[in-house]
Amino acid sequence: MILVSEQFDSRAKMGVLWEIVQTGLMYGQKRKSDTIEDRVQSLEDRLSLTQNTLRALVKKLEEIHGSDIDGDGRVG
């Protein structure tokens, strides 16, 4: 029974990996067809999302640890 479970886990991992590869390939093809303005806008949008994620992460870490990580004088 363990052997079947291990085979399933291995296949599931490969499926996820293949999905990531396909997504990357599709993104690369789309990027080639975009104008420079579209690419810049996409990068700016992704940067904004990344910054928001980092802010939320710092806030959560401050709440969990009860300390001011980013030096803004507040916790959370």
Average pLDDT by stretches of 10, the chain with 76 residues: 50 71 74 79 89 89 88 85
Chain mean position to CA 64: 22
> Of the candidates 57, 49, 20, which has an alpha carbon nearest to the alpha carbon of residue 41?
49
Residue 12 is predicted with a pLDDT of 59
- The residues spanned by each domain of the chain are 1-33, 35-76
**Helix, strand or coil for residue 55?**
helix
Integer Cα distance of 57 and 51 in angstroms: 10
DSSP label of 59:
H
**pTM of the predicted model as reported, rounded to 2 decimal places:** 0.51
20's tokens: 């990531």
Residue 14 is predicted with a pLDDT of 66
Integer Cα distance of 15 and 39 in angstroms: 29
